[in-house]
Amino acid sequence: MTVKKLSKIIKTKTICLCLMFFAYVSAYSQPFGGGAGTQQDPYQLSTKEHLQELSDTMIKTSGTVHSRNWTWNKHFRLMNDITDSVDFVIGGLGNEPFYGSFYGGGNKITLAINDSFHSGVALFRLLQDGSIDSLVVDGYVKIKKFFNSCNIISSAIYVAGIVASSAVTTWASRNYITNCISNATIDISDGVWLHAGGGVLGRGVATTLINCINNGNIIGPKTIASNRNNRLGGIVAELICSDSRSNIYNCLNLGVLDGTNIVGGIAGEVDGRSGNVSILGNTNQNFIKGNKSGGIVGFVLSGTTVSNNFNSGVVEGASNIGCIVGSKGTGTNIIIENNHYDKQMCGDED
Strand, coil or helix: 130: coil
Residues 26 and 42 in one domain: no
Give me the CATH number covering residue 295.
2.160.20.110
Distance CA 234, CA 215 (A): 8
Higher-scoring residue by pLDDT: 23, 240? 240
One-letter amino acid for residue 298 of the chain: G
Residues 59 and 174 in one domain: yes
Residues 235 and 92 in one domain: yes
Residues 219 and 336 in one domain: yes
Domain count for the chain, please give it.
Answer: 2
In order of 117, 221, 234, 280, the CA distances from 338 in angstroms are 43, 33, 21, 10
In which element (H, E) is residue 345 found?
Answer: helix 343-346
Residue 70's pLDDT band, with cuts at 50, 70 and 90, is: confident
Residues 18 and 41 in one domain: no
What is the rounded average pLDDT for all residues in the chain? 85
Residue from 265, 256, 311, 312 nearest 287 by CA: 256
Phi first, then psi: give them for residue 15, nearest 5 degrees. Answer: -60, -45
Residues 21 and 61 in one domain: no
Q: Is the separation of the CB atoms in 79 and 46 below 8 Å?
A: yes
Residue 206's pLDDT band, with cuts at 50, 70 and 90, is: very high
The parent domain of residue 8 ranges over 1-30
DSSP 144-205: E-EE-TTS-EE--SEE-SSEEEEE-SSTT--EEEES-EE--EEEEEE-SS--EEESSEEEEE
Distance CA 220, CA 260 (A): 7
Residue from 111, 127, 119, 136 nearest 58 by CA: 127
Residue from 196, 110, 184, 194 nearest 144 by CA: 194
Q: Is the separation of the CB atoms in 58 and 70 below 8 Å?
A: yes
pLDDT at 9 over 50: no
Rg (CA), the chain: 24
Residues 278 and 336 in one domain: yes
What per-residue string of b and e applies to 325-338 under the rule 16 or more CB within 10 Å gives b? bbbbeeeeebebee
- pLDDT per residue as tens digits for the range 257-300: 999 889 999 999 999 876 789 999 999 999 999 999 999 999 99
Residues 112 and 22 in one domain: no
Residues 193 and 334 in one domain: yes
Phi first, then psi: give them for residue 27, nearest 5 degrees. Answer: -65, -40
Residues 80 and 14 in one domain: no
Residues 178 and 266 in one domain: yes
pLDDT at 252 over 70: yes
Burial class (CB in 10 A: 0-12, 13-18, 19+), 160: buried
- What is the pTM for the complete model shown? 0.88
Residues 26 and 41 in one domain: no
Instruction: State the pLDDT at residue 293.
Output: 95
